[in-house]
Structure 1
Amino acid sequence: MSYEMIALLMFASMMVLLLTGQRVFAAIGFVASAMVLMLYGTGGVEIPFSAAFKLFNWFPMLTLPLFIYMGYILSEAGIAEDLYRMLHVWMGRVKGGLAIGTIFLMVIISAMNGLSVAGMAIGATIALPEMLRRGYDKALITGVVQGGSSLGILVPPSVVMVLYGMIARQPVSQLWLAGVIPGLLMAAMFVVYVVIRARMNPALAPTVPEEDLNMPRAEKLKLLRAGIIPFVIFFLMTGLFVMGVTSLVESSAVGATAATVAAAVKGRLTFRLVHDTARKTLAVSCMFLWLILAALAFGSVFDGLGAVRALENLFINNWDLGPWQVIIMMQISFIVMGMFLDDTAMLVIVAPLYVPLVKMLDLGFDNQLIWFGVLYTMTCQIAYITPPFGYNLFLMRAMAPREITLVDIYRSIWPFVIMMAATIALVMLFPQIALWLPQAVR
């Protein structure tokens, strides 16, 4: 059997195991282990073992549990809920103001925890009932929450980019910086969309009644304090890192410490809060660690068979595709896979194939793997909100009020999918949108 057929058999075996409902890390790790034993005997276990063990010498891995802890403690301590009340009062008179405020909230939450789940939970349980009570259109606000929460994997500190950096061996700091401008560009598109829809049809997003906003100026200014804590945490964590005061690992520790202190200042730091947060952090961190280990083991065996070279030969020599055509095919495959797999599974499946291939392509600019990491992360955002898998779709259905149906959820996503796709196209046409900031800060 040729090495190309063996590589195809590995990939097909992994997909079959995934379709049976096995855990992603177990399916990938089993295929890697079984194949290396079949090909090289017991001595072959050194191949995946050596690749996986390199992970434990990579210090940025320490940031993963710290960022996850920070996101959970901010959510569980109610700091995000206080922030939404501030935005509600200060933007209530603007047409579509609550929806715009929700997008701002999603960006801030994203900048605090790097996970989509926290933003979705806060938006579905806090923002949606408030906007429904004030007569906002169900499809509009459902799309706002789903689209806005997906920004958590693009705006730093993005946990997905940490995972990509681990597997592709790219500096996480450069990946974070590369995601800033595309993330803000996408958020700006969302805001413009809401403003246009609200002006074209004011009934979709009515302003908040005056009696809800009629409060003394001193009380309004007092509400502003709710917005100070997130910005202080973000500055301490990201600002000090960008200025070179702290390293990546130190900045994650600063963020986790600042979040704990903020919960204590609010008087919400209880033993139960710390216990629940620690358990959730441990569960998510262990899941990610096993996935990365399985991906590295699979990748070492897959690459050792020459699968990457075979793919390069297929795309470039046999099909005579240009570098940009190869990139477009990769993006299409991401979108198709994203309809059935979550972002982490998609990453560990395609990274062994695509990352080395992107490194070989001549696209005409430097930092191709940093740029590709941004493209991958943006495509994950589409995967989060497109059926049939649509991780955020399931979360929204589970947490949203009863009056929001599955039809409303599916109807709400398409304008935001189009805006996300437009942002991806812009970053592909103008790579400096993603690469300018990393190059300027370096």
Structure 2
Amino acid sequence: MGHEFIALLMFSSMMVLLLTGKRVFGAIGFVAVIAALLLWGDGGSEMAFSAAMKLMKWYPLLTLPMFVFMGYMLSESGLAEDLYKMFHVWMGPLHGGLAIGTIGLMVVISAMNGLSVAGMAIGASIALPELLRRGYDKIMVTGVIQAGSSLGILIPPSVVLVLYGMIARQPVGQLWLAGVFPGLMMAGLFVLYIVIRCRLQPSLGPALSEAERQQVSRREKLLLLKAGIAPLFIFFCMTGLFLMGITSLVESSAVGAAAAMFTALVKGRLTRTVMEETLRKTLGITCMFMWIIL
């Protein structure tokens, strides 16, 4: 039996298990265990133990819970909602402006947590109800949120690139640098599509009415720009210091997590409930990733 056929059989078995509703780590783990026992017999368990111990000794793996924690701290403390309000006010007067603002929100969120699932959750809970309430087309709204959340796998600090670097033994810093331009280019193409589509069909993305624009004064608009200071601060503390060579990859992830906590504390939102929810969700996502890797 050739290696190609074995790989195809394993992949097919995994997809069947996923289609039956099994969790990702359960499907992958079950197929891997059965394949190891059939191919290597008793030696399969020794290989699994050796691979797990080798993985646990890989120092950059510490970045995973840090980045996940940072993303959920951003979400649970309401910092992401402040960002959306800023984009809502400044981009709302344009046709499709709220959709463009949602893409901008996703870019900023991706630059602060590196998780597509976090971007999807934030977009669905914050942007989706507002866009539908404003009369945006449902198909466009769901497409914008799904496309925008996908940027998290490219824009640093991408957790997916960290995992890829760990498995392929490639420098994560270079992978991050390689993902920045494609991620921003994709975001620009998304915005261009929204602009052209809403220019041709204005009903897909209605602009804010004149009455709604007048409800927000110029001073309030300028004050809302302060919401953009927090993500810039977190991004500089994390990615900026790393690219400047001041911190290592693991150190930058810890600095980013601390910066997210500090920002929430300054804004008076670092409550016990926020911390408990952040830690609980971080533990769940981290355990899921660890099972998948193992």
User: TM-score, normalization: structure 1?
Assistant: 0.62
Between 107-116 and 38-47, report the one with greater CA deviation.
38-47
Structure 2 SS opposite 1:224 = helix
2:206 corresponds in structure 1 to 206
1:271 corresponds in structure 2 to 272
Query: For the residues of structure 1 that align with 2:187 and 2:58, how far apart are their CA atoms?
Result: 32
Q: Tell me the amino acid that sits aligned with residue 161 of structure 1.
A: L
2:190 corresponds in structure 1 to 190
1:280 corresponds in structure 2 to 281
Report % sequence identity: 69
Give how far 1:172 is off: 1.6
Q: Tell me the amino acid that sits aligned with residue 277 of structure 1.
A: T
2:98 corresponds in structure 1 to 98
Query: For the residues of structure 2 that align with 1:38 and 1:94, how far apart are their CA atoms?
Result: 61
Query: For the residues of structure 2 that align with 1:49 and 1:66, how far apart are their CA atoms?
Result: 25
Give how far 1:115 is off: 1.4
Return closer, same or farther for 1:257/1:10 CA change in 2, 3 Å cut-off. Answer: same
1:411 corresponds in structure 2 to none
Query: For the residues of structure 2 that align with 1:152 and 1:86, how far apart are their CA atoms?
Result: 21
Give how far 1:157 is off: 1.2
Give how far 1:164 is off: 1.7
1:30-429 correspondence runs (5 A)? 30-214=30-214, 215-293=216-294
Query: For the residues of structure 2 that align with 1:92 and 1:2, how far apart are their CA atoms?
Result: 58
Q: Once the two structures are superposed, what CA deviation does each residue of 1:129-174 show, in whole Å capped at 9, x if it has no partner?
A: 3233333333222221221122122211112222222222222222
Give how far 1:57 is off: 1.6
Structure 1 SS opposite 2:268 = coil
Return closer, same or farther for 1:5/1:183 CA change in 2, 3 Å cut-off. Answer: closer
Structure 1 SS opposite 2:50 = helix
Return closer, same or farther for 1:181/1:46 CA change in 2, 3 Å cut-off. Answer: same
Residue-pair matches, total: 293
Q: Tell me the amino acid that sits aligned with residue 196 of structure 2.
A: I
Query: For the residues of structure 2 that align with 1:94 and 1:79, how far apart are their CA atoms?
Result: 24
Return closer, same or farther for 1:285/1:85 CA change in 2, 3 Å cut-off. Answer: same
Query: For the residues of structure 2 that align with 1:84 and 1:292, how far apart are their CA atoms?
Result: 34
Consecutive unaligned residues in structure 1, runs of 5 or more: 294-442
Return closer, same or farther for 1:104/1:16 CA change in 2, 3 Å cut-off. Answer: closer
Return closer, same or farther for 1:9/1:110 CA change in 2, 3 Å cut-off. Answer: closer
Give how far 1:175 is off: 1.5
Q: Tell me the amino acid that sits aligned with residue 196 of structure 1.
A: I
Answer yes or no: is the 8 Å Cα contact 1:115–1:153 preserved in 2: yes
What is the alpha-carbon root mean square deviation over aligned residues?
A: 2.3
Structure 2 SS opposite 1:123 = helix
Answer yes or no: is the 8 Å Cα contact 1:96–1:194 preserved in 2: yes
Query: For the residues of structure 2 that align with 1:3 and 1:206, how far apart are their CA atoms?
Result: 55
Return closer, same or farther for 1:245/1:39 CA change in 2, 3 Å cut-off. Answer: same
Give how far 1:3 is off: 6.5
Give how far 1:45 is off: 2.9
Q: Tell me the amino acid that sits aligned with residue 25 of structure 2.
A: F
Q: Tell me the amino acid that sits aligned with residue 69 of structure 2.
A: Y
